[in-house]
Amino acid sequence: MNNLFSFNYFQLIFLFLTTSYHWLNTFWGNMQQVPPGKWIDLGGYKVHCYQKGTGKITVVLDHSLGGIEGYLLMEEIAEINKVFIYDRPGYGWSDSSPKKRCSQEIVYELDQLLEKADVSPPYLLVGDSFGSYNVRLYAHYFPDKVCGIVLTDGLHEQGMLNLPLSVKLLKSFFLSGFIISILGATFGLIRLLGNFKVFELIKPQLNKFNRDSLMLVKQSFYHPKHWLTMAREIWNLETSATQVQKANNLGNIPLISIKAKTFFIPLFSPFSSL
């Protein structure tokens, strides 16, 4: 009984210390780090967006599932063209959205955001992995606003809809893991791992990026809403795949698809291939 009590006592101390570290670090981080862009109200929730560079067209970046990896490309693209990036609701500095986290809702949000942010077409859409669903569906609904599409590690809806039962069960297993991630973010464990550069240890390719840009990406993972949004998007993946089926004929809009050597090593996202 004494050993059990001692073990629980040390657990409580560890939890207290990590939680205190998290909230102090969060407070100090929020004081130090100013969002690079601005917030746009989409009717009860605000979405963070950022644009940079000049040009006749605007490169619009949409991230992978659970990623805001576009910040890693922002500076380079802005040197040659105007680029627009946004944190999908629930990620980064954006509020969570009360709407369903599926491609159709995301597309409507994006169009509303571009209009309110006064970003005029034409748009060159770049969609990474799950973002490929969104940009294709956007081009389907608003073809006159789109001058081209680039897909990086793009998903195919038929593959998602025809997943074998074993993979569907594996997806359910991953969803249960988000509970642990939400708790880890709530108590500061993920922030602690991030500050000790565990992300870079897991994916060494991150070390080649600018430190400030990398921090813009990592900070999103420190918040519970990030993992909750990720779970919501995964839960609705089949719905999104069904919705994007209608975007199978984009007319004369040029489209380029770029694939990594393996699906499990995506081009930009530190954690997700989706």
Give a yes or no: residue 31 inside a domain: no
Q: What is the pLDDT of residue 105?
A: 97
Q: Per DSSP, what are the bridge partners of residue 41?
A: 46
Distances (CA, A) of 76 to 59, 73, 192, 230, 257: 12, 6, 29, 27, 20
**229 within domain boundaries:** yes
* Cis before 122 (ω within 30): yes
267 Cβ partners below 8 Å, 6+ apart? 128, 152, 153, 258, 260
For residue 208, the domain's CATH number is: 3.40.50.1820
Kindly state whether residue 269 falls inside one of the protein's structural domains: no
pLDDT for the residue 228: 94
| Residue in 13, 15, 24 with CA at minimum distance from that of residue 184 | 15
Does a structural domain hold residue 45?
yes
195, with CB counted inside 10 A (0-12, 13-18, 19+), is middle
Per the structure, the count of domains in the chain is 1
Helix (H) or strand (E) holding 123: strand 123-128
pLDDT of residue 167: 61
| Domain presence at residue 69 | yes
Q: How far is the CA of 208 from the CAs of 107, 201, 211, 214, 272, in angstroms? A: 32, 12, 9, 10, 18
Residue 215: its pLDDT value, please? Answer: 87
Position 24 in a domain: no
Range of the domain at 211: 38-258
pLDDT along the chain (274 residues), means of 10: 48 53 48 78 96 95 88 91 96 95 97 97 95 96 97 82 68 74 87 86 85 86 93 92 92 91 47 44
DSSP per-residue string spanning 34-100: PPSSEEEESSSSEEEEEEE---SSEEEEE--TT--TTHHHHHHHHTTSEEEEE--TTSTTSPPPSS-
Instruction: Please name which of 222, 223, 214 lies closest in space to residue 193, comparing C-alpha atoms.
Output: 222
- Per-residue confidence (pLDDT) for residue 268, from 0 to 100: 42
Contact in structure between 122 and 147 (CB atoms under 8 Å): yes
The pLDDT score that the predictor gives to residue 204 is 86
pLDDT recorded at residue 144 = 96
**Per-residue pLDDT at 10:** 54
Q: Where are the alpha helices (DSSP H) in the chain?
A: 2-32, 71-78, 103-116, 130-141, 157-161, 165-186, 189-195, 198-202, 211-221, 224-235, 237-244
**25 part of a folded domain:** no
Residue with tokens 């929730």: 45
Query: Is 8 part of a structural domain of the chain?
Result: no
